[in-house]
Amino acid sequence: MQIGRGVSGQGGIGWKVPNTGQLTSGKDPAVDPDFDTFLTAVYTEIDTLLQTQLVLPPHPGHPPRMSDSEVLTLVVIGQWRDSSERAVLRWVESDLHDAFPVLLSQSAFNRRARRLGPVCTRLLFLLADLLDPEPAPYEVVDTIGVPLARCCRGKQHRCFGDEAGFGVGGSDHTFFYGCSLLLAVTPTGVITGFVVGPAGTQDRWLFDAFVGWRADPTQPLWTIEELAQADSRNRSRHLKGTGVTGPRWWPESVGHAQSGIYLTDNGFRGPVWHEHWLADDQAEVIASRDAASAALAHHRRRQIVETINAALTDVFHLAFPSAKTMWGVVCRIARKCLALNLGIWANRLFGRADLAFATLVSC
């Protein structure tokens, strides 16, 4: 088997791909793919989307030794292994040399992987539209902590300034140094967008950037002073010492709105916020306490985002992404979200349960 140059010049494949028409018909039994079949399917889907849906700028200088499709395939597959770029290349050299006979140097591979960060988000949105062709009736929103370093190292701020911070997260309310990831998912578990901010930033400030950038990526976001003027009654009790603790990343990762209805927990409550989001960003927020008459149904609908958070943490190794800059953190988060959507796509391709990520493949 070999993944190499195809007739398009942007990557090709020299071995057979499963018959997607049969596997997605819904009448065939579930298939547990071997690794070669899974690798083939992922590479082919990424290459097809790049060739048919995205127009990437040409590479400067000499033609690249590895196509964008090959690089993206490796960084996405590596998310199942909890692998850095260095570990991915070592793995390919030892186990996948037949599929990838031509490899980049470590520094060149790292540069290409970082440069393709925005492409990962665009592929994420393309897959979201492919998996859920009809707009979802609502999106479920939640935040999850992403530790970047041990607390003792975080206090020294060796790699990050105000881009990261200290926060409390998880079911056990663990104290950590890193950032907060706000995710939006459809009722089927497909990730439609995300935004990243320093740990300790209130959920509402992350969500304000999320829906604000969805409405208009160029509009200025609310400041704590503007909120205080809009709701002076709560200024001293709720707003003192709160607000944005650092930059929020980044408009290209938020995607586009589905129905404009968002199901949240009580961390997103607040009448002033809700009025602001509805009037300025066309976003209707339904928090847990706002749905008191149907609290059980609300919690059941929100369970999907907890499942996705667990998959990102346990299967795709969200914690400690081994990045040295905030751009590296965002790129790695984008890869993990792309891997999750590709996992749903592959599970449907092989007739498996959508969220069976852990048993999809053994790398």
Q: What is the mean pLDDT of the chain?
A: 84
Tokens of 246: 């650092």
The domain locations on the chain are 3-115, 135-323
Sign of CA dihedral 264, 164, 80, 56: positive
Residue 16 to residue 139: CA distance in whole angstroms: 37
Residue 196 to residue 173: CA distance in whole angstroms: 19
Q: How many CA atoms lie within 13 A of 279 on its CB side?
A: 6
Mean pLDDT, rounded, for 124-136: 95
Contact 345, 339 (CB under 8 A): no
Write down the residue that tokens 């961390």 correspond to.
267
Strands 174-185 and 165-169: antiparallel
Residues 6+ apart with CB under 8 A from 109: 66, 71, 85, 88, 89, 103
> What does the DSSP 8-state code read for residue 149?
E
Mean pLDDT, rounded, for 184-193: 98
Name the more confident of 174 and 146.
Answer: 146
Between the alpha carbon of residue 134 and those of residues 138, 259, 298, 348, the distances in Å are 11, 10, 22, 17
Contact 73, 38 (CB under 8 A): no
Residue 218 to residue 215: CA distance in whole angstroms: 9
Lowest-confidence segment of 14-18, 49-53, 139-143 by average pLDDT: 14-18
Name the more confident of 158 and 337.
Answer: 337
Does 153 have pLDDT greater than 70?
no
> Which neighbouring-strand residues pair with 144?
181
Closest listed residue to residue 278, CA positions, set 229, 211, 225: 211
Lowest-confidence segment of 6-20, 116-130, 134-148, 336-350 by average pLDDT: 6-20
Kindly indicate the confidence band of residue 154, based on its pLDDT and cuts at 50, 70 and 90.
low
Exposure string over 150-180, b if 16+ CB within 10 A, otherwise e: eeeebeeeebbeebbbebebeeeeeebbbbb
With pLDDT > 90 as the criterion, what percentage of the chain qualifies?
55
Q: Which helix (H) or strand (E) holds 167?
A: strand 165-169
Give SS3 for 4. Answer: strand
Strands annotated E in 186-314 = 191-198, 261-263, 284-286
What's residue 159's pLDDT? 77
What's residue 86's pLDDT? 85
What's residue 357's pLDDT? 94
Name the more confident of 244 and 264.
Answer: 264
What's residue 241's pLDDT? 44
Residue 181 to residue 210: CA distance in whole angstroms: 11
Closest listed residue to residue 103, CA positions, set 7, 1, 2: 2
Mean pLDDT, rounded, for 99-121: 91
What's residue 13's pLDDT? 38
Kindly indicate the confidence band of residue 175, based on its pLDDT and cuts at 50, 70 and 90.
confident
What's residue 236's pLDDT? 42
Mean pLDDT, rounded, for 85-114: 89
CB-count burial class (<10 Å; 0-12, 13-18, 19+) for 266: exposed
Does 151 have pLDDT greater than 80?
no
Residue 113 to residue 134: CA distance in whole angstroms: 32
Give SS3 for 146. Answer: strand
Amino acid present at 174: T
Give SS3 for 194. Answer: strand
Mean pLDDT, rounded, for 43-55: 93
Kindly indicate the confidence band of residue 6, based on its pLDDT and cuts at 50, 70 and 90.
very low
